[in-house]
Each structure stands twice: as C-alpha cells, then as structure tokens.
Amino acid sequence: MQSKVRKDSFHGWLVVVACSVAFFMFVGNASCFGLLEIELRQLFEGQASSISAINALYNGLGFGLGIGFSCLTVTSTIMVGEYFEKRRPMALILSVLGGGVGIVAFPYIFTHLNQTYGLRGTLLILSAVYCNGIIFSFLYNINLVNCKQSRLDILREVCQTVFDRELMRTRNFPTVTLSYLLLHIVYAIPFLFLPKKAEQLGFSEDKASLLLSIIGISNTVSRLLMAIAASRSPFCRMVLLTSSFLATSVSLLIFAIFSDFLYLAIGVTLSGFSAGIFISITSAVLLDLFGNDNFASSFGSYFLVVGLGFVIGGPLMQSLSLVLSNIDAVFYVSAGCAFLSSLMLVTVTCDNCFPRRKTIGCKLHITSNQSQKALSEDVNNVFTISTAA
C-alpha cells in the first residue's frame, strides 16, 4: 500500500495540529480520573455503591483508556509520518505537545465545571467536547493507491506486524518489552491516587488540581527539550530513557514518603518531566535498538504493551489500596516497579555499549580499507576482524 501525499506541506502541519488537539483532549481527560474518583465517593452515600462505582471507573480506565490511547497514538504517528519527511522529527514532537498542555488545563477545567454544573453536568459537557474531536480526524486525508486488500487481509497483516517472531527472538526485545510494561502499569498512578492523598491531607480541590497541572507543565517543557537533546547519539538516548524510568521511581517514592505540599510539588515536577522524556524518545530508541526494518513491528508491540499496562495498572493498584487501606503502599509498590524497569534498561544499555563478540582463532591482517570493508560485508558481521597497521 502506497500513500500519495505531498511531503512537508501546509496540510501536513494541519495534521500535526489535529494530532495535538486529539492528545490535548484525550490525555487531559485521562488526567482527571483521580479528581473524578473523589467526586464519585462524595456522590454515593452507601459504601457498597461507592466501591462499585469506583471499580467501574477503573475498569473503564483500563480497557477504554488503553484501547483508545493505543488507537490514537498509533494512527497519529503514522499519519504524521506519511505527511513529513525532512521535518518529521519536529512534527512528531509537536504532534504530542497537546498532551502536556491538556494535563495543565483539564484539572482546572474539570474543577470549574464541577463547581458550576455538578458531576453529571461536567461529564456531559466533557463528553460533548470529546466528541467534537472527531471533526479533526477529517484532516487525516491520505489517498491510498492500489489498496485492494480485504479487511481480513489487513487484520492478518497487522497481527503479523505486531507479533513478529523474528523480532521477538532478538536478544533485547523481551527485556525492553517487560520494562515498558512495568512502567506503564504505574504510569497513571499519580493521576489516580495523588488527588486522593491530597484530600486525605486536607488540601483543597484547587491545590489537588494544581499538583496535576504541574505535571503537565513539566511534561510540556520536557518534550520541547527533547527536540534538542534526543537528536544526539543512540547512547545518549538510552541514557536519557533509563534516567527517566529511574526518575519516575524517585517521584513515586516522594509521593509515598512526604506529606508537605512543597515536596509533593517537587515530586509531580519530576514525574511530569520524566514522562515527557520517555514519551518523546521512545520511537527513536526503538529505531536504534531494532533497526528501520523492524520499526513497524517494534512500534506496534510497544503500543500493545501500553494498552496492557493501562488494563492492568488501574484495577490492580485500586484493589491493592482497598486491601491495605493505605494509599502510600500503592506508591511504594509503583516505585518498585519503575525501579525494576530502569534496572532492565541498564542491562540493555550495557549490552549495546559493550556487545558480546565472537572472535576467530587467528588474526586477519588487512592493509587496505576497501579490502577490510569488503571482507566485513562478506562475513556479515559474524566475526570480529582484527586489523593491524
């Protein structure tokens, strides 16, 4: 299937705007789930009905947010990639900036609407606003030529791309996949449980909204900085990615240990900044690790892991908080998962910096650079060729 579009055109930037607006509404709405849980517990007087409503919320978060987020991000990334060639990295970064802005704005929007119209009115208004996002999808206008595949063939092609057996047999793929799964299980924890902790500490609803907005501010700043820093070497990108996973673990520990608003603000700043890093450079890291030929498969597998993380994370941590009757325990467990994921990435980074080499018993002395290159191509990098002056 080939696409027939003008590269780096004005219409391409309209697609970037559409993607950014979609991320603004989707990620912004998702950041308000913790505030929504507080309102649900206040709405239902009976404890049993309250627990049922909250369980329904987290189940909806897991399946709805996981499926919706994967569909949104995969299609948006593909569309932006189709419309850009020379300015593709910048376009991809700008297309997801709306997510950080949505985290800044939506907690205040939700709080204001709830104070004015109540919970039911707020949900109706946000649903109507969210449906208007469908209008922006009409900008995703790619004319496909020679597209005669049936739906079954397309589905089979998608499954073969996501579940690529050759990719799954590569050395680093299982470690990277498990690392991302652990991280996305705990990715939404600050949005879900931080407003609840703020309520227990006696903070006002405005302060709880401010904490979530700080996440969005630092997230947006981080994504902008990654446009510069992430264009360096593959080693630099791996270090940034590993550091962001570790910073996520530290931020979750801050939420568990401290109760002062200032320390919580530091924690959310670190959480938002680290999230902006790994969201921005994940596609580049996958390209570094698995190559251009396996990029589509690795990218599809990544978003499958994102969906699974959302499906597992919310209900699992909510059940843990109900069993232990302690929110801090959720933060401790989440910090442990994030720390374990960072350790896995450390092993991947070391493996790529210090690759295992197989050497032959004799040294081959090559005096010509052209001969060395030709011989290296012939052996297909199976052996390590030692050269002497």
Cα–Cα distance measured from residue 133 to residue 25, given in angstroms and rounded to the nearest whole number: 8
Specify whether the backbone of 354 is left (phi greater than 0), alpha (psi in -120 to 50) or beta: beta
Cα distances (angstroms) measured from residue 138 to each of 127, 133, 157, 183, 236: 19, 10, 25, 33, 38
Tokens linked to 192: 């879900």
Measured N-to-C along each axis, helices 33-43 and 47-60 cross at an angle, to the nearest 10 degrees, of 160
pLDDT in tens, the chain (389 residues): 445 667 777 888 888 888 888 888 888 877 787 787 777 777 766 554 555 556 666 666 556 665 666 677 667 777 777 787 777 767 777 777 788 788 888 888 888 888 898 888 888 888 888 777 777 777 776 554 445 566 676 667 767 766 777 888 888 888 999 999 999 999 888 888 888 898 888 888 888 888 888 988 898 888 888 767 666 678 888 888 999 999 999 999 999 999 899 999 999 999 999 998 888 888 778 878 888 777 778 877 887 888 788 778 877 888 888 888 888 999 999 999 999 999 999 998 888 766 554 433 334 344 444 444 443 343 333 323 333 33
Nearest by Cα to 315 from 192, 212, 197: 192
Tokens linked to 199: 């309520």
Say whether 357 sits in a helix, a strand or coil.
Answer: coil
Q: Give the DSSP per-residue string, 21-78.
A: HHHHHHHHHHTTHHHHHHHHHHH--SHHHHHHHHHHHHHHIIIIIHHHHHHHHHHHHH
Cα distances (angstroms) measured from residue 166 to each of 143, 170, 296: 31, 7, 13
- Size of the chain, expressed as the number of residues it contains: 389
